[in-house]
Amino acid sequence: MTNLDDILKSRRDTRHFTDEKVPDEVIEKALQAGHWAPSVGLTDATKYFLIKSPEIKTAIKELFSEYNKKAADATDNLEQKELYNSLKLEAIEEAPIGLIIAYDRSVLNQFTIGTIGSNEAVKFSSVCAAQNIWLSLTDQGYGMGWVSILNYHQFKKILDLPENIEPLGYFCIGKPATNYNNQPMLQQLNWKLKSEKADCREIKSVHLKNTSTPLSTFTTENKKNNNFEILLKEKIDSKTKPVGSLGILETLAFQMASVFESLEPKIINPNIVVFAADHGIANHGVSAYPQDVTRQMVTNFLNGGAAINVFCKQHNINLSIVDAGVNYDFPTNTELIDAKISNGTQSFLHAPAMSESELELCFEKGKAIVNDIAKTGSNCIGFGEMGIGNTSTASVLMSLLTGFSIEDCIGKGTGIEEEKLIQKQNILKKSLENYSGQAELYQQLSYFGGFEIIQMAGGILSAFENKMLILIDGFICTTALLIAFKINPKIKQNAVFCHCSAEKAHQKLLDYLDAKPILNLDLRLGEGTGCAIAFPILKSAEAFLNEMASFESVGISRK
């Protein structure tokens, strides 16, 4: 056997292979080594797929070439781009064997030891298996190259991999044609030098953090000046109209001026933020759509093709898209706010959706996103969401936080049929029956919450702190507002409920909050579309307050 240190120092990213056939026993021994790797909770979640077909290799090579061009275009440095294009980064068609190492996310649907802190532990197990396979192949005189420059959605599609199977990439296996002088290929070709030693430092103290009063920074007072309210009401009533004749526009004008603390309020740099994430409960068939639609719709947002894109463009509203926890790793060069907690929550039918640390991180990330938007001068922010299965999450949270029965909190979501609605109701009812935790807000949120819903709640709390007008979309966003309201009831002072959706429970939730929506258009799309559609009405309230003549200014007698 080769000395272990020599194996570890030898090159693993093989990109040049001979045409020598790889014996079956070599592959079998390598896969056994992978199987011996640590596996979180003994899940055996790592799966392997062998590729020998030239047709499949060609299809994967084309997929690589498409994304490799995108990778080269990501740099504006011409010298760097030229060097990048000269690198040989794969040997998909040349290598005798192709191997896909993947992990099975469905193991998270059951209680899995070692994953409560992070769902990513399942992926890490598969990475350990990949390392063991490389060690075994190197020891046997063979090499392996890891190809990760791929559109993983298309990669899974052309291989017909199930939705729950997540590949680490494509691995090329064969007899190495070169050893690059035992240097990393990228180092030998002057892309970058590898450091001589590992980066390691000792942590010697505990960073104490007060968790007894979480989010206390959100609960500052926002006292109103009585004189200001009197002046504002007088300004509204003195406009050339009967008192109250502009109805809800007068209410909105009063609210807007109060939030902005100005008798001449003006909306500046309005922004709608769409938070997207996946939900473990979706694996139980509670939605009419497969989970991958979340990823597809986020891509649609980024390409400008969704309803929210159209409406934001129509009304000159900035649009921000947040990956709060989509079950997909988007390319790093997309115009996406990366706030990913994990690749979706766990199924709360069997286990907590997230850990307490993930819950805290959701609040922190939601707050940071809105703080950054506020720094641009924006004083008006709308909240939207995307996530297959999130009406189920919102229904359970609504039931827990309001005391309404789960039956009163469930609707058809994306449009499920009656039979599926009954199935959804039974699953959510069973989930609540299985919950043995305390009736304490943060425990309930970590057990049943969704990454995008909690991040929205954190963002709403932050928007209040930044004295922003807060636009609330439909049922799911109102549930996020409900969470924020439970933490700080003063939130409602800044909240504008843009519409009442067709989701059955939304009206009941609005009644609970004593909230009067602006519109009732039978919308049930989400995405923040209700915020965008209601926005012109806010602008009308702003316009009449600032531009409409008063009785005194034009000499018209009052009643």
DSSP, collapsed to helix, strand or coil, labels residue 49 as strand
Task: Tell the burial category of 447 from Cβ atoms under 10 Å away from its Cβ (0-12, 13-18, 19+).
Answer: buried
DSSP category for residue 189: T
What Å distances lie between residue 338 and 272, 335, 375, 447, CA to CA?
Answer: 16, 9, 18, 23
Q: How far is 411 from 395, CA to CA, in rounded Å? A: 8
DSSP, collapsed to helix, strand or coil, labels residue 213 as coil
3-state secondary structure 99-153: EEEEEEHHHHHCCCCCCCCCCCHHHHHHHHHHHHHHHHHHHCCCEEEEECCCCHH
Closest CA to 328 of 157, 115, 89: 157
> CB neighbours (10 Å) of residue 36?
12
Q: Identify the sign of the CA torsion 330, 335, 338, 340.
A: negative
Q: Identify the sign of the CA torsion 114, 117, 118, 124.
A: negative
Q: Which residue has the tokens 């190809």?
A: 147
Q: How far is 173 from 134, CA to CA, in rounded Å? A: 9
Helices of type H across 303-439: 307-314, 356-375, 390-402, 418-434
Please give the angle made by the CA atoms of 74, 325 and 150, to the nearest 5 degrees: 35
Closest CA to 464 of 492, 486, 505, 443: 492
> CB neighbours (10 Å) of residue 42?
11
Per the CB < 8 A criterion, the answer to whether 449 and 480 are in contact is no
Mode of pairing for the β-strands spanning 97-104 and 271-277: unpaired
In the sheet that 97-104 helps form, which strands lie side by side, from edge to edge? 46-51, 97-104, 165-174, 143-147
Tell me which residues are annotated as active site: 527
Please give the angle made by the CA atoms of 165, 169 and 170, to the nearest 5 degrees: 115
